[in-house]
Structure 1
Amino acid sequence: MKQDLRFEKTEKALQEAFLNLLQTKELSKISVKELCELAQVSRNAFYQHYETKEHLYDNILNELLLSIEDACRPLVKDVATITEVEGRLFLDKILLAVDQNRFVINQLLTSQPAVFTAAFHDMLVSANIQSSHSIGTTPNIAYIHIFSGGIVAFVKYWLLETKLTLEEAQDKLFSIVGQMRME
């Protein structure tokens, strides 16, 4: 038990140090040595957890996307029962998951925007296709791609270009999606 706790503590220290370094440096400019110094762990400890700093980045990204993917689970069992309330709740849950991971997402968006946005988009597409299948509908792949791309673009806009609160962002996204449905 003690070893597991130490392992988790080291991993958390490495991830926090890495995210802090990403605030001021590009990924390519971060060295394992400075990462270990900031995390106050040995190089051996780093390599027990990660093969490379890119592996550390990928691990952080994957954990983040898994936590957001949970918010994409369907809220209904039948498409015919989806109301405006369920649509709103679905969008609200996604933005809540983003808000809960805001610091990490900001670091990933500013350090590797193309990598983050592509991975986020792919996760949303996959989650929405799975959700369609789980409620017994044939997914509209083109719509899912456009919808997912819109969510990713909105998140990037919200976090990097505005000072909107979570509630304001939820209202704005719901309004935009509503306008798109009407046109």
Structure 2
Amino acid sequence: MAKALTESRRTRYTRQAMSDALIDLLRDHPLSSISVTALCERADVNRSTFYAHYDAIADLLQDIEDDTMAWVTGALDRITARPDPSAIEDDIARICRYIADNRRHLQVLMSQKAGIDFPERLLGLVYGRSVIAERMGAGSLGDSEADRRMHFVVSGSIGLIRHWMDTDLGDPPEAVAHTIFTMALPTIIPLTASAAAPAASAAH
């Protein structure tokens, strides 16, 4: 785990240098093959400095993930505190913009290279919010059906974000967010509207 140290400009710089070095190494190597020595050489720090901050490389990776999740949690807290349900799409768009702005780290975290559950945690934060679950109509479904729909939504959204990143973020964040929003949280068509067409056909 990350060790508690007095936060200073030098401490922040050192941890950032090690984070950047790990992300660079993960682009070409699996986590299991990255040594502390290789990391320190890339970050231009010595081994004693690394161990003053972390017990293992996996702890550094966890620190990177936790920092990102903390930002996402704060963004969700600010947005979902508003009563307007339309804020949900803004919520997703804000996260997509964050991904675009931090693509260097996020392209690795959203891939399989890091060997962690970051994508599931990221989308789980979004869809775990009660306002979103209510918008999906989960409360009107049985537990099994609601669970299946939630897994479908999360898996599909993760797949789209990975595709977006694999294609070098060719689409704007707002477009990706809109697709996720409209596919995962479709507007429910009133029964009277859907029944109107058959009724009209029967009249002819």
Q: Work out whether residues 120 and 154 of structure 2, in 8 Å CA contact, stay in contact via their aligned partners in 1.
A: no
Match of 1:9 in 2: 13
> C-alpha displacement at 1:96, in angstroms?
1.8
What percentage of aligned pairs have identical amino acids?
20
Partners of 1:165 and 1:55 in 2: CA distance: 33
> C-alpha displacement at 1:147, in angstroms?
4.0
Matches within 5 A, 1:1-183: 4-73=8-77, 74-75=79-80, 77-78=82-83, 81-83=84-86, 86-110=87-111, 111-112=113-114, 115-126=117-128, 128-129=129-130, 140=139, 142=147, 146-161=152-167, 163-177=170-184, 180-182=186-188
> C-alpha displacement at 1:4, in angstroms?
1.7
Unpaired stretches in structure 1, ≥5 consecutive residues = none
Deviates more, 1:166-175 or 1:98-107: 166-175
TM-score (norm 1): 0.75
Q: Work out whether residues 26 and 108 of structure 2, in 8 Å CA contact, stay in contact via their aligned partners in 1.
A: yes
Q: Report which of the two structures shows the higher radius of gyration computed on alpha carbons.
A: 2
Q: Work out whether residues 68 and 98 of structure 1, in 8 Å CA contact, stay in contact via their aligned partners in 2.
A: no
Which has the larger helix fraction?
Answer: 1
Q: Work out whether residues 67 and 97 of structure 1, in 8 Å CA contact, stay in contact via their aligned partners in 2.
A: no
Q: Which amino acid aligns with 1:5?
A: R
Q: Work out whether residues 19 and 107 of structure 1, in 8 Å CA contact, stay in contact via their aligned partners in 2.
A: yes
Aligned residues: 172
Unpaired stretches in structure 2, ≥5 consecutive residues = 1-5, 140-145, 190-204
> C-alpha displacement at 1:181, in angstroms?
3.4
> C-alpha displacement at 1:23, in angstroms?
1.1
